[in-house]
């Protein structure tokens, strides 16, 4: 490590799903191990890393637009470096340099551990470095991490996906599914809990397929491995909340539902991608389930967990979708009573079978259906949240997530079912830290959050809360998600009820 590297700062900009967020924490850890330090908020960094998504068409526009904004700075300071990784880099490869020749490093989804070496090589040789591997070099979970949160953490249980959904490009970029050994997953969870983490989110492109293809050839195939993993997490003392994302309805089995219900620290929250309520469209999407099966899963979940909050992904305007098909989707949404839905207007992705279909739906029709779906889901979300009024909730206080305006003096956090709660701390305002647990009663509701203005009944200080204060006692202001959908107002560009690219990693 040279003195010049030791003084260099970095910034990682993340687009896409939780898997990308997990990878970005590993990229940050790698850079810090190599002597870089995180750039201060609002400051220009010496190294800017883009960890990209390729799921939707606007992902390309967003990346190349941001790269163009950095071009003048790069021209003024040749020592500043720009790296592009993630799914879009895996897809575009050398094309990134053709469109943005001022980029220094391009790396893919399979070799994020190469970033520090590639930056050194590019700086030393004064030439851009492109390294894209077609197979996984090492599990990202085996790399060092610089986590954004002291209280919530991502834990990858697998990478890749064996599904062949016609709209999705992710499997071709992440590769076939490879599962980590259960012992390795549980060891990582235990290590996180030992550091004070209260909540973990188990990540996979299709978590309930876990066990079909372990990286260790001596570990036998086990289709019940995910249910067993959930139960094993329940035995870890100090682990208060377990979430996972995302399952696939075709492989969601009763043993997982039973494990969720029987394991106290598994949260009563489920993200289950629907995509369409039309059986004809589901078949065209190669989604190997139908509306009846999907609704049956939800019924069984609610039989064992009556208060579970269920969220979903839905695509509007898939090629060939008729008004009748769309009405089928509205019917399923009405029956399912989702707490929230990530809704997307279909956009063709080159390299996917759906992109070559002739019967693309006119944009104005897609926009109209999208708005109708949003209106329906907004009504349901409000009704479901209003049903929470009067209920006592346990809130894990968040660092900057969804904080209300200062005039209300409310703090924010997540209930066990994943709902965002804005609560009045009262006289405890200065004592409550991000990572602490409070108990309060819901007094009002909106489509995307709950309000608890009756005060805090109980406040439990935690080790995670201790860690969210700096040495001078000030709060750490970094906004941190809790491994669940961001239930906020729709972003300016139509993306449904989330500020992110997608929730489920592989679903859309």
Ordered DSSP codes for 136-151: -SS-GGGS----S-SS
Exposure of 78 by Cβ count < 10 A (0-12 exposed, 13-18 middle, 19+ buried)? exposed
CA distance 41 to 474: 15
Is the predicted pLDDT of residue 496 greater than 50, yes or no?
Answer: no
Same fold flag, 145-387 and 391-468:
no
Is the predicted pLDDT of residue 475 greater than 60, yes or no?
Answer: no
- Report which of residues 441 and 508 the model is more confident about: 441
Average pLDDT of the chain to the nearest whole number: 89
Over range 87-96, report the average pLDDT.
90
- Residue ranges of the domains in the chain? 9-131, 145-387, 391-468
- Report which of residues 172 and 454 the model is more confident about: 454
For residue 286, what are its two tokens?
């190669």
Least confident of 327-341, 401-415, 478-492: 478-492
Is the predicted pLDDT of residue 263 greater than 50, yes or no?
Answer: yes
Least confident of 32-46, 146-160, 476-490: 476-490
CA distance 344 to 389: 30
Exposure of 40 by Cβ count < 10 A (0-12 exposed, 13-18 middle, 19+ buried)? exposed
CA distance 128 to 133: 17
Q: Which of 191, 85, 175, 87 is nearest to 139 (CA)?
A: 175
- Quickly list DSSP for 424-470: --GGGTTT--TT-EEEEE--EEETTEEEE-S-EEEEE--HHHHHTB-
Is the predicted pLDDT of residue 477 greater than 80, yes or no?
Answer: no
Give residue 403's pLDDT. Answer: 56
CA distance 346 to 321: 11
pLDDT in tens, 334-383: 999 999 999 999 988 878 899 889 899 999 999 999 999 999 999 999 99
The CA–CA distances, whole Å, from 447 to 375, 439, 452 equal: 11, 21, 15
90-109: burial string, b at 16+ Cβ within 10 Å, e else: bbbeeebbeebebbbbbbbb
- 502 annotated as a binding-site residue: no
Q: How confident is the model at residue 508 (pLDDT cuts 50, 70, 90)?
A: very low
Over range 302-315, report the average pLDDT.
98
Least confident of 140-154, 249-263, 457-471: 457-471
- 506 annotated as a binding-site residue: no
Is the predicted pLDDT of residue 143 greater than 60, yes or no?
Answer: yes
Give residue 405's pLDDT. Answer: 59
Least confident of 89-98, 415-424, 468-477: 468-477
CA 409 to chain centre: 28
Q: Which helix (H) or strand (E) holds 244?
A: strand 241-245
Give residue 172's pLDDT. Answer: 81
- 233 annotated as a binding-site residue: no
Give residue 446's pLDDT. Answer: 98
Is-contact 100 80, C-beta < 8 A? no
Is-contact 247 256, C-beta < 8 A? yes
Q: CA quadruple 41, 45, 50, 56: dihedral positive or negative?
A: positive
Query: In CATH, what class is 9-131?
Result: alpha beta
Q: How confident is the model at residue 57 (pLDDT cuts 50, 70, 90)?
A: low
Q: How confident is the model at residue 388 (pLDDT cuts 50, 70, 90)?
A: very high
CATH code assigned to 145-387:
3.80.30.20
pLDDT in tens, 454-463: 999 999 999 9
Task: Specify which residues 10 forms β-bridges with.
Answer: 38, 47
CA 439 to chain centre: 26
Is the predicted pLDDT of residue 87 greater than 50, yes or no?
Answer: yes
Give residue 54's pLDDT. Answer: 81
- 267 annotated as a binding-site residue: no
What is the percentage of the chain residues whose pLDDT exceeds 70?
89
- Report which of residues 494 and 376 the model is more confident about: 376
Q: How confident is the model at residue 62 (pLDDT cuts 50, 70, 90)?
A: confident
Exposure of 231 by Cβ count < 10 A (0-12 exposed, 13-18 middle, 19+ buried)? middle
Q: Which of 227, 232, 231 is nearest to 251 (CA)?
A: 227
To the question of domain 391-468 being in CATH 2.40.50, the answer is: yes
- Quickly list DSSP for 113-139: GGHHHHHHHHHHHTS-EEE--SS-SS-
CA distance 419 to 501: 19
Give residue 469's pLDDT. Answer: 61
Q: Which of 292, 294, 236, 226 is nearest to 260 (CA)?
A: 226
Give residue 506's pLDDT. Answer: 45
pLDDT in tens, 189-226: 999 999 999 999 999 989 999 999 998 888 999 999 99
Q: How confident is the model at residue 490 (pLDDT cuts 50, 70, 90)?
A: very low
Is the predicted pLDDT of residue 1 greater than 80, yes or no?
Answer: no
């Amino acid at each position: 490590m040279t003195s010049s590297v030791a003084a260099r700062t970095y910034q990682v900009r993340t687009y896409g799903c939780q898997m990308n967020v997990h990878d970005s924490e590993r990229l940050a850890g790698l850079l810090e191990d190599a002597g870089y330090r995180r750039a201060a908020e609002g400051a220009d960094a010496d190294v800017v890393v883009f960890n990209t998504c390729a799921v939707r068409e606007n992902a390309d526009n967003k990346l190349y637009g941001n790269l163009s904004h950095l071009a003048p700075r790069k021209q003024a300071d040749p020592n500043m470096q720009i790296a592009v990784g993630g799914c879009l880099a895996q897809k575009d490869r050398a094309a990134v340099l053709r469109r943005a020749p001022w980029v220094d490093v391009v790396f893919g989804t399979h070799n994020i551990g190469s970033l520090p070496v590639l930056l050194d090589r590019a700086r030393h040789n004064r030439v851009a470095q492109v390294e894209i591997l077609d197979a996984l070099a090492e599990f990202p979970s085996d790399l060092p991490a610089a986590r954004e949160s002291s209280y919530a953490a991502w834990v990858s249980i697998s990478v890749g996906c064996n599904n062949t959904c016609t709209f999705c490009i992710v499997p071709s970029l992440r590769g076939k599914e490879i599962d980590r050994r259960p012992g390795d997953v549980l060891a990582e969870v235990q290590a996180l809990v030992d550091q004070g983490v209260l909540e973990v989110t188990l990540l996979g492109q299709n978590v309930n397929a876990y066990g079909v293809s372990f990286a260790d050839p001596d570990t036998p195939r086990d289709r019940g491995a995910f249910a067993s993993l959930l139960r094993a997490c329940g035995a870890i003392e100090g682990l208060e909340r377990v979430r996972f994302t995302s399952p696939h309805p075709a492989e969601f089995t009763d043993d997982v539902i039973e494990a969720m219900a029987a394991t106290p620290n598994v949260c009563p929250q489920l993200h289950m991608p629907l995509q369409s309520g039309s059986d004809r469209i589901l078949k065209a999407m190669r989604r190997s389930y139908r509306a009846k099966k999907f609704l049956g899963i939800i019924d069984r979940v609610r039989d064992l967990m009556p208060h579970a909050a269920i969220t979903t992904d839905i695509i509007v305007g898939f090629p060939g979708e008729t008004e009748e098909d769309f009405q089928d989707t509205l019917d399923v949404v009405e029956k399912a009573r989702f707490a929230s839905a990530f809704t997307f207007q279909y956009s063709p992705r080159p390299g996917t079978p759906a992109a070559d279909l002739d019967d693309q739906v006119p944009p104005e029709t897609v926009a109209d259906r999208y708005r109708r779906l949003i209106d329906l889901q907004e009504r349901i979300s409000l009704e479901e949240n209003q049903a929470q009024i009067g209920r006592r909730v346990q809130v894990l206080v968040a660092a900057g997530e969804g904080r209300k305006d200062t005039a209300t003096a409310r703090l924010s956090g997540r209930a066990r079912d994943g709902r965002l709660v804005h609560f009045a701390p009262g006289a405890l305002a200065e004592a409550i830290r991000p990572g602490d647990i409070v108990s309060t009663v819901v007094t009002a509701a909106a489509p995307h959050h709950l309000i608890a203005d009756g005060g805090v009944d109980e406040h439990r200080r935690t080790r995670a809360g201790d860690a969210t204060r700096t040495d001078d006692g000030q709060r750490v202001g970094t906004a941190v998600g809790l491994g669940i959908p961001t239930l906020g107002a729709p972003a300016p560009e139509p993306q449904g009820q989330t500020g992110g690219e997608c929730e489920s990693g592989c679903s859309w």
